[in-house]
Chains A and B, each alone.
Chain A
Amino acid sequence: MSRHPPRASGYFRTSYAQDHALIQTRLEWLATAALAVALCGVPLIASPFLLDLATQVLLAIVGALALALLTGYAGQISLGHAGLLAAGAFTVGILFKEFNAPFWISLPAAAVTGAALGVVFGLPSLRLRGLYLAVSTLALHFVVVYLGGEYESKRGFSTGIMIDPPSLLGVSITSGRAWYLVMLGAAVVALLLAANILRSHTGRAWRAVHANETVAGALGINVAAAKLGAFVITSSMTAVAGGLFAYHRGFVSVEAFSLYLSIQYIAMIIIGGMGSLLGAVLGAIFVTLFPYAIEALVGMLPGSQRYAGSLFAVNYAAFGVVMILFLIFEPLGLVGIWRRLQSFFLLWPFKQRPVGGGRK
């Protein structure tokens, strides 16, 4: 949970402002700048397919961050993530079909829909906890998908709603590069939003509620408001991600938002590492790219075309196996590996942290 301090050698922060700063050292500034340059440079070198993958990853990061805030920090389990994505996508789709709304109306509208649904999804959380809460959000997922399906059938969009690409200043966003940049922007905004919420009063209230509701209440935190707030904010983020998905792929249909999608997002935050924004990002990268990686690996085996019929069953099964192995052998997630690596280099040649040292 704690961000690593500025230097391996000690804890030098002397004010809250320093403690809260997102970027704390010169090295971190350099790393951030390098990363920014690298990320902006990707479209220039990547093949269209890789660029598409990168775009998918960035979109997944937005959704995963929202879920990480809700589940990892505020401690509310949700199996309704796909339902919220669907709600955002359908808001965009319906506004486009019925009113031909441009994106600067429909995306905020998706956010509002998400926020409203967040209240609905969040209300059970005032009474329910743990698995029961998860299941009530699952129930809401089915309701959203049912409504979307009804709209599709009643309006005769039997193979899904087609959406024209959004246009900005008269130029429509169609190319892979443009979409990459749009999604990169969305992911950065989501990341900053999440990081800022977490270092504000709201985020601390969420963590307190997560740790112990009674104590949080005794500290003067309005527990109900904190829970509802968590649902509203994250649902709104998720719905916008759904709207972006609709624009990016140019279509909306209920089948794209199955329960399996919710499970994928949960897999992201768990495989990445619970209660960590970096974990959500790493998890989103891993879960999105993994099936393609498996496919590429299996495809490289000699004679793979001959077994083409069963190849995909192998991919499918391999995904299950790796997920299981991950859960068994790396319960802390990818972020756990990252932290171990970090400590290894920071502490080298020692193996253990000093007792009572400045680091927590």
Chain B
Amino acid sequence: MLKKAIIGTAIFTAAALPAAAQDAYVIGLTGALTGPPAGTYAPGVDAMRIYFDRLNKAGGVNGKQIKLVIQDDSAEPGKAAANAKKLVAQDNALLVINTSLSSTYAPVIGETKRAGVPLLFANAVCPKEVNPPAEPLQFCSTAFAATYDSRASLAFIKETAKEAVNLGLVAMAIPVSRGEIDFADTQTGALGFKTVAKEIIPPPTPDYAPFATKIKDAGANWVFSWAPWITQVRSVEALRRLGWTGDFVTWAHLEAESELVRLKDPKLFVVGANALFQDGLPIHKEIEAAAKEGGSQYPANQMAEGWIAAQVIEAALKSAGWPATPQKVADALASVKVDTKGLRGGPIEWTKENHFRTKQYYRVYRWDPTKNAIVVAKDWYSYDVK
């Protein structure tokens, strides 16, 4: 009986939803809102929800409301596939957003491609398909991106290091992170670095000391890590506990700002593309106020990523006009130019060929014990994306 009731409700909701969704821009999102890696992704999703709520209250885009349909995939590819199917087939989403682990990309790309719906990676690592020559329907607004991040980080090491660099590399045992660290490894020779250790750490690791011991014993004086935050931060903590005094360069994930304050480690450098909230720009104040009003579980200083994605979507919908089709939205995204108001080093600009951004800006932060605050270790520098 229960089963029949359930099927009944499923049919009922299936029948009820599309009818209600006619008079708004429908944006679908599949994200890791539960499951182990949720901490990295959920704040970004919340930021987008808050942004669109505010936008709707202010009248929406082109006089129409934006309906954000959020689906949880628990970072599981099977669930992401079903979500993508639902978003394109039932909700008739104009655009699908993926905010989840890279393992969910393949099924979501497959579903959206078949349906001809544009796909935006937001607050999730950019796949190489968005770099020129870009896949027509894939876009990425996320700060972190394969190869450019390693180049920027290694360039920073090259510039800062006073003596010969013995580099340790740390990745998490997930394909994206491994791939990036392998790429970094190929770059070290040309820069005159020596790779002394390359540790690939499985995700459920109770104690990082064995890995740290290996890096320390190998004589690394610089370590570069590009992995989910937990692996990065626990590696540096484990190294410090072993008495290692070298410099650690790593990617500035959402958590970076509060973590720099917590660790107070002057030789931990975070390379990132987003301005941290301690800069106190007007846009930062705005996000803080919105997060408070929107009742978020997450601190405002983790919302820059989601905010930027929402800015991009707003701009694209505005130029796509009403009524919009997935194709119109895709065309609009392919020529979007968004002023991030200081959240990034420069605007996000997409062309037909380039769905990543024409110029990728980086900034390096660290903790300064004398000032007792986070300081900029290297101001905006950029790479042309070709």
List the interface of chain A (C-beta within 8 A of B). Answer: 47-50, 52-53, 56, 149, 152-153, 156-162, 174, 176, 245, 249-256, 258, 260-261, 282, 285-286, 289-290, 292-293, 296-297, 299-300, 306, 308-313, 315-316, 334, 337
Contact = CB atoms under 8 A, between A and B. Distances in A.
A241 B103 CA distance: 20
Interface of A is mostly: helix
Interface string B272-304: 000000000000000000000001110000000
B110 A251 contact: yes
B49 A308 contact: yes
A214 B151 CA distance: 67
Contacts of A52: 82, 85-86, 89
Nearest to B42: A309
A161 B46 contact: no
A160 B178 contact: no
A56 B107 CA distance: 14
Given A160-B77, A249-B81, A290-B6, A153 B106 contact: no
Contacts of A289: 3, 6-7, 10
B1 A260 contact: no
B105 interface: yes
21 contacts: A47-B15, A48-B85, A49-B86, A52-B82, A53-B82, A149-B173, A158-B102, A160-B103, A249-B110, A250-B107, A251-B106, A255-B103, A255-B104, A256-B76, A256-B103, A260-B76, A289-B3, A289-B10, A299-B13, A309-B42, A312-B33
B260 interface: no
Nearest to A314: B34
Interface of B is mostly: helix
A153 B81 contact: no
B46 A300 contact: no
A43 B7 CA distance: 16
Contacts of A261: 78
B75 A53 contact: no
Given A251-B106, A312-B34, A337 B1 contact: yes
Nearest to A291: B79
Contacts of B34: 312-313, 315-316
B9 A293 contact: yes
A40 B297 CA distance: 47
A53 B12 CA distance: 15
Contacts of A256: 76-78, 103
Given A159-B103, A253-B103, A255-B101, A309 B13 contact: no
B190 to A, nearest CB: 21
Contacts of B109: 162
Closest 3 CB pairs of A and B: A48-B89, A158-B175, A251-B106
A337 B4 CA distance: 13
A162 B101 contact: no
B179 interface: yes
Given A56-B82, A245-B78, A334-B3, 6 more contacts: A159-B127, A255-B101, A261-B78, A309-B49, A313-B33, A337-B1
A297 B106 CA distance: 29
**Contact-size category for B:** 35 or more
B70 A297 contact: no
Nearest to B13: A296
Interface of B: 1-3, 6-7, 9-15, 18, 33-34, 42, 45-46, 49, 70, 72, 74-78, 81-82, 85-86, 89-90, 101-107, 109-110, 114, 127, 173, 175-176, 178-179, 295-297
Given A158-B176, A161-B106, A316-B34, A50 B10 contact: yes
A269 to B, nearest CB: 16
A63 to B, nearest CB: 12
B98 to A, nearest CB: 11
A188 B155 CA distance: 60
Contacts of B296: 309
B162 to A, nearest CB: 35
Contacts of B46: 309
Contacts of B45: 309
A174 B89 CA distance: 14
Contacts of A250: 106-107, 110
A304 B165 CA distance: 54
A293 B114 contact: no
A245 B78 CA distance: 9
Given A253-B77, A337-B1, A158 B7 contact: no
A157 B109 CA distance: 14
Nearest to B177: A158
Contact of A159 (B1, B70, B85, B175): B175
Contacts of A158: 102, 175-176, 178-179
A285 B7 CA distance: 10
A189 to B, nearest CB: 22
B76 A258 contact: yes
Given A50-B11, A56-B82, A159-B105, A251 B77 contact: yes
Contacts of A312: 33-34, 72
A253 B109 CA distance: 14
Contacts of A306: 295
A251 B81 CA distance: 10
A316 B14 CA distance: 21
Contacts of B297: 309-310
Contacts of B18: 47
